[in-house]
Amino acid sequence: TFFPAVLTLPAGSSATFFCNISMENDSGSEYSLNWYKETNHSQTQKIAEISRNNPQTKTGKYLLTNHTPAFKIKILNLHQNDSGSYYCGLITFFEPDKVMESNRSHLVVTAAPEKMNATDEPEMEEGNTLDHIKAVLLGILLLAGAVVLLIFGYLTVTYRRGDVQKPPSENMPAEEKPPGASVSTVDYGVLEFQWDQRTQVLPATQPVDQTEYATIIFPEEKPITPERGKKHQD
């Protein structure tokens, strides 16, 4: 018997079939187990052979192992042209008419998975990650710019509002200050009146010396007292 009946595997993998033999009266005679491949149900090709006393052998891409009464064949590195029907044939020596063939098993080798898909996914993920980082950085820059603009606008408005709220007298030069309510100041000074030397008055009738006081109001500028006038002349 030959099993499994059907195997479907991708290219690049390995396929394993088993051939199980049963000899009713094993008298120790020699035998050989051949492995065949049949394509298009017409062309048969012998691909490998193992003898009874050989535990393992490797022929090309075929690895044969003896596990009497079962024999294993492993087809390595499958290609799509390995698809076809496989079977084994038992040939006994020194006994005529002892050639037996097993049933057929079918192997289907499919195309290997596209490696581009496996490699594209990381590239796409990497590209997506880079785009995400760029978007985050752009968002941070935009946010920082907006904060700077807000601070600048706030400072500008505050500065202008401070100028508007200042009293007009502070924004005007000292010479241009509007006149406030006039406040009269009173300063007292002593005025000395000299006697006319040409007027002779008898001692008997000479009046007593008198001191006259005058009040002078200077509404706009500071009055000049005799002491200040003296300093001004100096």
pLDDT (0 to 100) of residue 62: 94
pLDDT (0 to 100) of residue 118: 47
pLDDT tens, per residue, the chain with 234 residues: 899 999 999 999 999 999 998 766 565 677 889 999 987 767 889 999 998 889 999 988 999 999 888 999 999 999 999 999 999 999 887 766 678 889 999 999 999 887 655 445 555 566 678 888 988 989 899 999 889 888 988 888 887 776 655 555 555 555 555 555 555 655 656 555 555 555 555 555 555 566 677 777 666 655 556 665 555 565
The alpha helices in 91-207, defined as continuous H runs, are 115-165, 168-171
pLDDT (0 to 100) of residue 49: 92
Query: Which residues are 3's β-sheet partners?
Result: 18
pLDDT (0 to 100) of residue 18: 95
The CA-based angle 144-147-151, given to 5 degrees, is 140
pLDDT (0 to 100) of residue 208: 57
The CA-based angle 149-155-159, given to 5 degrees, is 145
pLDDT (0 to 100) of residue 48: 93
Beta strands, E only, the chain: 2-3, 6-10, 15-20, 31-39, 43-51, 56-59, 62-67, 70-75, 84-92, 99-101, 105-110, 185-190, 213-218
Q: Which fold has domain 2-39+52-110?
A: Immunoglobulin-like (2.60.40)
Q: How far apart are CA 192 and CA 214, in angstroms?
A: 11
**Domain boundary assignment for the chain:** 2-39+52-110
Q: How far apart are CA 40 and CA 81, in angstroms?
A: 12
